[in-house]
Amino acid sequence: MPQGLMLTDLAIAGCLLLLAKILRVHLSLLQRMYLPSAVLAGLIGLLLGPAVANILPWTDTFTANAGILTAALFSSLGLATELPSPKTVAQRAGSLWAFNQIASVSQWLFAAMFGLFLTTWFWPDLSPAIGVTLSAGFMGGHGSATVVGDILTNLGWEDGFTLGLTFATVGIFLSISIGMLILQFALKMGWISSFTTFSSMDKYQRKGLIKPSEQQSVMKDTMSSLSVDSFAIHMALVVLVTAFSFVSANYLSSFYDKVQIPTFVTGFLGGMFVRIIAKRTRANQYLCDGAFNHAAGISTDYLIIFGISAIKITVLAQYLLPMVVLATGGITFTLWLVLWVAPRLLGEDWFEKGLFSWGWLTGTVAMGIALLRIVDPNMRSKVLDDYAIAYVPGSITDIFIISLMPIAMYNGMHWQAVGIGLSYIALVLIIWRFALVGKTWSSPKRDT
């Protein structure tokens, strides 16, 4: 088990988050950038931390906090994840599932092989696993970047941790900035008739606040306070599953030295197992998914703060040019997925689904939601409903990719990884074409 979160670190991160939110509310520039408060807090922590000014009194182990919060994040997601039936996935979100699988696997493969190409022909002194830090940061955000960084650190390449977190931070900026350019392009192409501009948003939307009359309760009370507070039970489950993730991951990793089982895998599966037991015993009627979702949100925000604050500037200086080339290639490939592949797989409302996918393929799901609300403020397309259904079976693939791809690339098993990845993409295309809705091959054109 790792050393627990220190109160000093949590207090500093909390102060940074409050400061960032205040700045976000009052500074129009930050609002126009759609910059999440946690990212801004992390950047302030980076500037005031040991990498630059060295003013903040972080503890000596504050960099380990990101790993603990990643385990808590995926444990919370597992507790909140309902496993849909294959029939529901096929009927409601078959095409989105297929696109998500193809996009995520191909992005990992492209980044890994592009990184291998660069290290083979231009920078032979760099690790051949540098490409996976791009896909880990872009698609998975700071959570996956932390997982991959920990794996690479255990394998002997500590710089991978900083690179992954940096790509995750840069990806958030790119997801919104390029996403707005995609919207402008779609308007000219006639794919959409209009979208919600910054000037048309009300003051609450700009500041990232919810109008008092539209605010909703965080969770429902499922237990009498005479016995126990409902939130205490929900947090007890999150903490227990998080602790289980470390114990079980360490145990499973002890069988083979070269394979380290990440805690996010055991945390997510452990959370789902607890949820299944609760459903079988009818205890699920006393659990609230809203509480688990907010626990995941809290973990994510603090994870981002600690992750960005732990970035090592001196490491970035050594990798700056390869990172720029990698990021450029990654952006180009992801644009191809969203603007060429998406309209041919997603059918109706392909642009809304593709724009949302751009957000999570480069930043986070939250960035995808932010872009989706701009083009579809009333959520007419039901993209989020379909994504929630497609997420669970798709997440299993993500677990294998995030866990095994860094190991494969670091240990020279490049072509094995490519072969497996391409075979899986071919399988998904076959399923989509003959079992889902692929028979209605859609055109990139769209009526306004």
Q: For residue range 230-242, list pLDDT tens digits in order.
A: 989 999 999 999 9
DSSP state of 199: G
Q: Which residue has the tokens 């630059």?
A: 52
Note the pLDDT of residue 443: 44
The Cα–Cα gap between 11 and 5 comes to 11
CB atoms within 10 A of CB 91: 12
Percent above pLDDT 70 for the chain: 91
pTM for this predicted structure = 0.81
311-336 average pLDDT score: 92
Q: Which residue has the tokens 């070269």?
A: 258
Structure tokens at 63: 């960099």
Structure tokens at 40: 């801004």
The alpha-carbon radius of gyration of the chain (Å, integer) is 21
Using CA atoms, how far residue 75 sits from 156, 161, 266, 303, 322, in Å, is 27, 21, 8, 14, 34
Using CA atoms, how far residue 42 sits from 25, 158, 201, 304, 318, in Å, is 17, 20, 26, 6, 22
Alpha helices in 1-64 (DSSP H): 7-26, 28-32, 37-48
Residue 311 · residue 165 · CB < 8 Å: yes
Note the pLDDT of residue 398: 78
The Cα–Cα gap between 275 and 263 comes to 18
Note the pLDDT of residue 259: 61
Structure tokens at 211: 């109008």
pLDDT bracket for residue 91 (50, 70, 90):
low
Residue 116 has pLDDT above 90, yes or no: yes
Note the pLDDT of residue 438: 44
Residue 364 has pLDDT above 80, yes or no: no
CB atoms within 10 A of CB 117: 13
Residue 422 has pLDDT above 90, yes or no: yes
- Coil/strand/helix, residue 21: helix
H helix count then E strand count, the chain = 17, 0
Average pLDDT, the chain: 85
427-431 average pLDDT score: 89
Note the pLDDT of residue 80: 86
99-109 average pLDDT score: 91
**CA nearest neighbour of 172 among 137, 197, 206:** 137
Note the pLDDT of residue 10: 92
pLDDT digits (tens, 9 = 90+) for 125-170: 999 999 999 998 888 788 888 888 888 888 889 999 999 999 999 9
Look at 262 and 103; give whichever has higher pLDDT.
Answer: 103
Structure tokens at 70: 């990643």
276-301 average pLDDT score: 90
pLDDT bracket for residue 440 (50, 70, 90):
very low
**CA nearest neighbour of 375 among 177, 189, 182, 214:** 182
pLDDT digits (tens, 9 = 90+) for 25-77: 999 888 888 788 988 999 999 999 988 888 999 988 888 888 888 889 889 98
pLDDT bracket for residue 199 (50, 70, 90):
confident
Note the pLDDT of residue 441: 42
CB atoms within 10 A of CB 397: 16
The Cα–Cα gap between 276 and 17 comes to 35
Using CA atoms, how far residue 108 sits from 138, 205, 418, in Å, is 10, 34, 10
pLDDT digits (tens, 9 = 90+) for 372-417: 878 877 667 777 767 767 776 777 787 788 888 888 888 888 899 8
Note the pLDDT of residue 211: 85
The Cα–Cα gap between 336 and 406 comes to 24
DSSP state of 447: -
Note the pLDDT of residue 142: 84
- Single-letter amino acid code for the residue at 190: G
347-355 average pLDDT score: 84
Structure tokens at 67: 């790993």
Cα(first)–Cα(last) distance of the chain, in Å? 56
The Cα–Cα gap between 21 and 26 comes to 9
The Cα–Cα gap between 210 and 226 comes to 32
**CA nearest neighbour of 115 among 133, 98, 102:** 133
pLDDT bracket for residue 89 (50, 70, 90):
low
